Chain A
């Protein structure tokens, strides 16, 4: 009989490094409960060494070691040692269990907090999602900038300063707007120097020159120098999705528009995505009016007019 034999050598969790700070972080990510389970099992196995050699009667002792002939004091000592082993194992079991229970509780609290955060949608986004639900499934309707409720003319007439179309020129959109109402110069800006000109069917029929070759995210204008900025379908350009079809670029373009616009200047945003309102909110715009339609594939598209609010002093 070899009482020093250890059945459950801890190999899986690199316990030799315990306390050295070596692998705690990695193990914590794996899950404390899993490792504590392993520790509890190892201790139980160790204790079973005593239970298998349990000292109850003299005949038990003889069964273990026939040559032994124990006296009462020796028997009492063996029982005492065996009892102490049980107590130590039980104490460890309880301590480990309390660590495991506390961790389960903490994880539960953490998960509840995460779930709560997920359900707390951005209020701007929540509002527009609600609007989209109202019209979901509606027939596709081509965008019309001359919608009365958009009131583009009146709104533009009230602005002062140059008008810039970013990502232009477009064949639709601002071309239908009477730019004579504007009191400043008109620029088209595009990341390309020559952009394709499309016919009504979407076929390229030629090339159009732009006034300024620039990225919508880095416009060549001073701060607070522009009266109005117009953009059409910036998030879904017909021929350059590789560059423009991302929310992050729309966010940066909206922030840049905010930079170049004068206080109370307008951002006229055609074919916008739902998230664009969150970006506009972050950039300090106020929504004046919007029109929502469910486009192809039931994707929401917005035409809207946003006003740059004066910076709070």
Chain B
């Protein structure tokens, strides 16, 4: 049986919401990698400074 207009619309909205949710999660992951990298660099530089002060 062919889906009704309402069913098609519901399906389209579910695809949209699922996709937007996944993209939002991926953006958070992306940001976490950037923050992590910055933290690592900062930590490494701090370690270098500490070493130079020894």
Say whether A associates with B: yes
A240 to B5, CA, bound (A): 48
B13 touches A78 (CB 8 A): no
Known interface pairs A78-B34, A81-B29; A88-B12 also in contact (CB < 8 Å): no
Q: How far is the CA of A106 from the CA of B6 in the complex (A)?
A: 13
Q: How far is the CA of A81 from the CA of B33 in the complex (A)?
A: 10
Residues on B with beta carbons closer than 8 Å to the beta carbon of A67: 38, 41
Instruction: Decide yes or no whether A102 CB sits under 8 A from chain B.
Output: yes
Which residues of B are interface residues toward A (Cβ below 8 A)? 2, 4-6, 8-20, 22-24, 26-31, 33-34, 36-38, 40-41
Most buried by A among B10, B18, B33: B33
Distance from A112 Cβ to chain B, minimum over Cβ atoms (Å): 15
- Sample of 29 A–B contacts (CB below 8 Å): A3-B28, A3-B34, A4-B31, A10-B16, A18-B13, A18-B14, A18-B17, A19-B13, A28-B4, A32-B12, A35-B12, A43-B16, A46-B20, A50-B30, A53-B30, A67-B38, A68-B34, A68-B38, A69-B41, A71-B37, A74-B33, A77-B33, A81-B30, A81-B33, A85-B27, A88-B26, A89-B19, A96-B15, A99-B8
Chain A residues 80-123 with CB under 8 Å of chain B are 81-82, 84-85, 88-89, 91-92, 95-96, 99, 102-103, 106
Q: How far is the CB of B24 from chain A (nearest CB, A)?
A: 7
Known: A28-B5, A32-B8, A46-B23. A3 touches B30 (CB 8 A): yes
Kindly list chain A residues whose C-beta atoms are within 8 Å of the C-beta of B23: 43, 46-47, 49-50, 85, 88-89
Minimal beta-carbon separation of B29 from chain A (angstroms)? 5
Query: Does A299 sit within 8 A of B, measured CB to CB?
Result: no
* Pairwise interchain contact B14-A106, C-beta atoms closer than 8 A: no
B residues within 8 A CB of A68?
34, 37-38, 41
Known: A3-B31, A28-B4. 17 other contacts (CB 8 A): A19-B14, A32-B9, A32-B12, A39-B15, A49-B23, A53-B30, A65-B34, A65-B38, A67-B41, A68-B37, A68-B41, A69-B37, A74-B36, A84-B26, A92-B15, A92-B16, A95-B15
Contact: B31 with A88, CB < 8 Å?
Answer: no
